[in-house]
């Protein structure tokens, strides 16, 4: 009896499964037949559907964005050349001709060589000191002014982008927003945007004006700004939303840089003390016991020891500098 009941139950389950499969298959065939009939009745509708799926606006915009990014990366790779003196002077915000820069370098070299010769009395050492001072000191001053100008620019750049965002949301065109920044923002932000507006007035395209902007101020934030505007110009989209996101990213970068600076200040102080300690101790020993320290300067073995110590300390300072340097 139990075996008969089990067999009946199994046969009933198989019958239900077969019926469900048949119904599902029949429904699918019926739906396929109806779709085929509708397509056959309206071939134009089929063509429009295929064309619409092939030309999806989202896919088209993504392709344009990808192509724009590849083009910008290619141009950035081409621009990775050695920084010239003219570019350094321009990025430092100076109006100094290159010829005058070389004249100043020559004057510095002659003065340092003359003072070294009077102090040491060796023409070779004087020539080496003059060459090093002439080639290094003016460049260091220009690079220092360049770095200070870039820091001042980054302080106000996020606020300038916020001005563009608010202007675009209120209905102002992009050029009017740039004009407001040039008039209201302090230098160097205002000056750079005024130069970009002048380039646009004489007929230069926005892409080329942004490229020149990045050449004058080669910082990652300006590169982001260039990419956003180039993509929006070619692929379209909500400019205010894109620039608003960029402003948020720039402020987060600045906040992260400040946090890194605070966390690494102890390590930098320790590295500065360790690097300055040998020089300070040398000066203290020379001031208290000059006869004890003079063999390092008068004897050949002492000179070799000083050279070895200088090389070893220089290597240690470079290693510490690499350890405490962070880039965001």
Q: What secondary structure does DSSP assign to 130-171, as a single string?
A: HHHHHHHHHHHHHHHHHHHHHHHHHHHHHHHHHHHHHHHHTT
Are both 282 and 203 inside the same structural domain?
Answer: no
Are both 236 and 170 inside the same structural domain?
Answer: yes
The pLDDT score that the predictor gives to residue 110 is 93
CA–CA gap between residue 286 and residue 172 (Å, rounded): 69
Extract the residue ranges of the chain whose pLDDT is less than 50. Answer: 1-2, 7-8, 11, 18-19, 21-28, 35, 38-39, 41-55
CB-based burial label for 268 (10 Å; 0-12, 13-18, 19+) = middle
Are both 248 and 275 inside the same structural domain?
Answer: no
CA–CA gap between residue 81 and residue 215 (Å, rounded): 12
The pLDDT score that the predictor gives to residue 100 is 93
Are both 312 and 247 inside the same structural domain?
Answer: no
The number of angstroms, rounded, from the C-alpha of 129 to the middle of its chain's C-alpha atoms is: 36
Tokens matching residue 159: 């606020």
The pLDDT score that the predictor gives to residue 6 is 54
Domain count of the fold of the chain: 2
Asked if residue 102 is part of any domain, the answer here is no
The pLDDT score that the predictor gives to residue 141 is 93
Are both 187 and 242 inside the same structural domain?
Answer: yes
Domain containing residue 164: CATH number? 1.20.81.30
Asked if residue 178 is part of any domain, the answer here is yes
CA–CA gap between residue 307 and residue 313 (Å, rounded): 10
CA–CA gap between residue 223 and residue 215 (Å, rounded): 10
Sign of CA dihedral 100, 105, 107, 108: positive
pLDDT tens track for 219-257:
888 988 988 888 887 777 788 888 888 888 888 888 888
Are both 204 and 293 inside the same structural domain?
Answer: no
The pLDDT score that the predictor gives to residue 264 is 81
Are both 161 and 188 inside the same structural domain?
Answer: yes
Parent domain of 209: 153-257
CA–CA gap between residue 7 and residue 29 (Å, rounded): 33
The pLDDT score that the predictor gives to residue 102 is 93
Residue pair 89/96 in contact (Cβ under 8 Å)? The answer is yes
pTM for the model stands at: 0.65
Per-residue DSSP letter, 186: P
The pLDDT score that the predictor gives to residue 229 is 87
Cis omega before residue 166 (within 30°)? no
Are both 159 and 184 inside the same structural domain?
Answer: yes
Are both 251 and 284 inside the same structural domain?
Answer: no
pLDDT tens track for 107-134:
999 999 999 888 877 788 888 889 999 9
């Amino acid at each position: 009896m139990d075996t008969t009941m089990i067999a009946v139950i199994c046969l009933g389950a198989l019958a239900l499964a077969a019926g469900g499969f048949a119904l599902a298959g029949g429904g699918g065939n019926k739906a396929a037949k109806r779709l085929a009939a509708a397509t056959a009745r309206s071939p134009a509708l089929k063509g429009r559907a295929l064309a619409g799926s092939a030309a999806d606006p989202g896919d088209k915009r993504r392709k344009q964005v990808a192509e724009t990014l590849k083009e910008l990366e290619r141009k950035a790779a081409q621009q990775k050349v050695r920084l010239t003196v003219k570019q350094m002077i321009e990025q430092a915000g100076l109006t100094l001709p290159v010829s005058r820069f070389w004249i100043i370098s020559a004057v510095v070299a002659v003065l340092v060589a003359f003072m070294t010769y009077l102090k040491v009395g060796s023409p070779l050492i004087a020539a080496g000191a003059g060459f090093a001072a002439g080639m290094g000191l003016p460049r260091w001053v220009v690079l220092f002014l360049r770095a200070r100008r870039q820091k001042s620019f980054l302080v106000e750049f996020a606020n300038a982008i916020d001005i563009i965002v608010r202007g675009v949301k209120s209905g102002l065109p992009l050029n009017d927003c740039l004009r407001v920044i040039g008039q209201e923002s302090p230098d160097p932000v205002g000056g750079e945007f005024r130069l970009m507006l002048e380039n646009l007035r004489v007929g230069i395209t926005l892409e080329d004006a942004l490229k020149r902007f990045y050449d004058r101020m080669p910082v990652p934030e300006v590169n982001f700004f260039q990419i956003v505007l180039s993509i929006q110009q070619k692929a379209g989209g909500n400019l205010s939303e894109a620039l608003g996101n960029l402003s948020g990213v720039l402020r987060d970068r600045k906040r992260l840089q400040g946090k890194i600076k605070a966390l690494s200040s102890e390590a930098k102080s320790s590295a500065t003390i360790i690097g300055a300690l040998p020089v300070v101790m040398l000066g203290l020993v020379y001031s208290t016991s000059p006869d004890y320290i003079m063999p390092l300067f008068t004897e050949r073995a002492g000179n070799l020891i000083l050279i070895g110590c200088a090389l070893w300390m220089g290597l240690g300072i470079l290693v510490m500098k690499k350890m405490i340097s962070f880039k965001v």
